[in-house]
């Protein structure tokens, strides 16, 4: 495994990092800006897959590194929808569609993929379990380790970098 394309997928912004022992390229795909809120979510998935297909061809990775989807239940307290877990299930379903389509694209392009749970790669870097704090810690670690100047809103990029490095270092 010499080139890993790490992806931190979400329903709005997808971080990416091409890594081969050092960072080659990194950034984010702001899919919600490309396909505004009014459009069907399927249109956003199609656009994401179209962009990733171009990246796969351009970057020529040996492996795609993906964060496994986990269900995060909400209490619903203080939200418009006051039902246990409603937001968590909807997001889980969309992210499952995302990762499934990325896996299919990887197979179509004949590129290996590896999935890791958030707790697996985060614990490797000593990142806490609390989600909002973990995002801040990921940015701090990446800025320190790679001498970057990511901002706290760039957590998708930071997580993609750490996922790519983790898979590169541990899954050879």
Task: Tell whether the model's pLDDT for residue 51 goes beyond 80.
Answer: yes
Task: Tell whether the model's pLDDT for residue 82 goes beyond 50.
Answer: no
Q: Which residue has the higher pLDDT, 37 or 162?
A: 162
pLDDT, position 19: 97
Q: What is the pLDDT of residues 98-115, one digit of tens each?
A: 889 999 999 999 999 999
pLDDT, position 84: 47
pLDDT, position 155: 95
pLDDT, position 9: 85
The CATH number for 4-170, chosen from 3.40.50.620, 3.30.930.10, 2.102.10.10, 3.30.420.10, is: 3.30.420.10
19-28, 39-48, 61-70, 121-130: least confidently modelled range: 39-48
Sequential DSSP letters for 9-55: --SSEEEEEEESSSEEEEEEEEHHHHS-TTS-HHHHHHHHHHHHHHH
How far apart are the two ends of the chain, measured CA to CA in Å? 6
Task: Tell whether the model's pLDDT for residue 36 goes beyond 70.
Answer: no
Please state whether beta strands 23-30 and 13-19 pair in parallel, antiparallel, or not at all (unpaired). antiparallel
Whether 88 contacts 1, CB under 8 Å: no
Structure tokens given for 41: 């979510």
Q: Which residue has the higher pLDDT, 24 or 13?
A: 24
Q: Which residue has the higher pLDDT, 163 or 35?
A: 163
pLDDT, position 11: 74
For residues 106 and 108, give the distance between their C-alpha atoms in angstroms, rounded to a whole number.
5
pTM: 0.87
CA 58 to chain centre: 19
């Amino acid at each position: 495994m010499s080139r890993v394309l790490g992806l931190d997928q979400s329903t709005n912004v997808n971080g990416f990092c091409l890594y081969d022992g050092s960072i080659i390229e990194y950034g984010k795909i702001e899919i919600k800006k490309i396909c505004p809120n009014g459009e069907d979510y399927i249109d956003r998935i199609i656009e994401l897959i179209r962009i990733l297909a171009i990246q796969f061809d351009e970057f020529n990775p040996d492996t795609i590194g993906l964060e496994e989807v986990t269900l995060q239940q909400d209490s619903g307290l203080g939200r418009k929808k006051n039902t246990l877990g409603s937001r968590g299930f909807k997001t889980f379903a969309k992210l499952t569609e995302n990762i499934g389509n990325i896996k299919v694209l990887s197979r179509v392009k004949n590129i290996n993929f590896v999935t890791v749970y958030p707790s697996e790669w985060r614990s490797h870097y000593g990142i806490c379990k609390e989600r909002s704090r973990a995002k801040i810690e990921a940015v701090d670690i990446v800025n320190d380790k790679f001498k970057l100047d990511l901002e706290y809103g760039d957590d998708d990029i930071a997580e993609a970098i750490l996922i790519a490095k983790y898979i590169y270092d541990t899954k050879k």
